[in-house]
Amino acid sequence: MTEPTNTPLQPMPEDWRRALAVVAHPDDLEYGCAAAIAAWTDAGREVAYVLATRGEAGIDTLEPEKCAPLREREQRASAAVVGVSEVEFLDHRDGVIEYGIALRRDIAAAIRRHRPELVITLNHRDTWGGVAWNTPDHVAVGRATLDAAADAGNRWIFPELVEQGLQPWNGVRWVAVAGSASPTHAVDASAGMERAVASLLEHRTYIEALTDEDPRTYARAFLTRTTESAAERFGGHPAVTFEVFAR
């Protein structure tokens, strides 16, 4: 486990226009960083989402072929709440995403399509801190996203992408990892909090299958707890935290 630290978290870089968030599942962004995304789109920045799967293995009582379209709808609705209209799915298989060339290529292609300066992903490390084990899908997509930020800029790594008209994009300046146990930066969550709760609530079918609690109470409690836990390192403000890898 990373040693507890009181080192202040730095404000996120501000000099960028486009961000691309790449995660494994519907709800990965809503459990972590929707409040930050709301603040960014409020400021006129463009944010797009790419999901490796449709989260089709996420609900025990629902077969994957029925679950996939439902979770896709919920994801598009939750993105819209925080000002994101572009949501793409790479259609890797939920639960068994493989880290490897195919995943790196798909993410590099997405980065070339969207040409972001900032790339967001979810915790790629083995744990959430301590002994809270992460899932293999998050680890695979997080690592592949960190790698693909460089792949996207190299014309010779995936030459087939150039043949498809996707020119190299070497403009990614930061990859920011949400949900890291070793965060370095943060975004004030206050302004985006209500929309973050509403955004997580759009995953209603998933949440109702997960807990007997009232979904709104559950969503608010989760996001309040996580953002307030960062406050003591961010001037007392509830915050969404990121571990930022500069390039």
Nearer to Zn ion, 9 or 51 (CB): 51
Tokens found for residue 201: 């609530």
Measured from the CB atom, the residue of 28 and 243 that comes closer to Zn ion is: 28
Q: Taking Cα atoms as reference points, which of 174, 186, 90, 182 lies closest to residue 140? A: 90
With respect to Zn ion, which residue has the nearer C-beta, 28 or 202?
28
Kindly state the smallest distance separating residue 28's Cβ from Zn ion, in Å.
Answer: 4
Identity of the residue, 26 or 183, whose beta carbon is nearer to Zn ion in the bound complex: 26
Stretch that binds Zn ion, among 27-35, 104-112, 175-183, 225-233 (CB under 5 A): 27-35
Smallest separation, CB 25 to Zn ion (Å): 4
Q: Which residue is nearest to Zn ion (CB)?
A: 25
Residue 9 or 84: the one with the smaller Cβ distance to Zn ion is: 84
Write a three-state SS string for the chain: CCCCCCCCCEECCCCCCEEEEEECCCCCCCCCCHHHHHHHHHCCCEEEEEECCCCCCCCCCCCHHHHHHHHHHHHHHHHHHCCCCCEEECCCCCCCCCCCHHHHHHHHHHHHHHCCCEEEEECCCCECCCCCECCHHHHHHHHHHHHHHHHCCCCCCCHHHHHCCCCCCCCCCEEEEECCCCCCEEEECCCCHHHHHHHHHCCHHHHHHHCCCCHHHHHHHHHHHHHHCCHHHCCCCCEEEEEEEEC
Residue 135 CB, nearest distance to Zn ion (Å)?
A: 6
Shortest CB 31 distance to Zn ion, Å: 8
Which C-beta is closer to Zn ion: that of 180 or that of 234?
Answer: 180
Query: Please, what is the minimum distance in Å from the beta carbon of residue 137 to Zn ion?
Result: 6
Nearer to Zn ion, 77 or 166 (CB): 77
How many residues sit in the footprint of Zn ion (CB under 5 A)? 3
The stretch near Zn ion (CB under 5 A) out of 21-29, 81-89, 94-102, 182-190 is: 21-29
Query: Is 56 a residue that touches Zn ion (CB under 5 A)?
Result: no
- What's the closest the beta carbon of residue 136 comes to Zn ion, in angstroms? 10
Burial class from Cβ neighbours inside 10 Å (0-12, 13-18, 19+) for residue 76 reads middle
Q: Which stretch binds Zn ion (CB under 5 A): 22-30, 68-76, 90-98, 190-198?
A: 22-30
Q: What separation, in Å, do the N-terminal and C-terminal C-alpha atoms of the chain show?
A: 26
Among 9, 19, 28, 230, binds Zn ion (CB under 5 A): 28
25 is an interface residue for Zn ion by CB under 5 A: yes
Name the site residues for Zn ion (rule: CB under 5 A). Answer: 24-25, 28
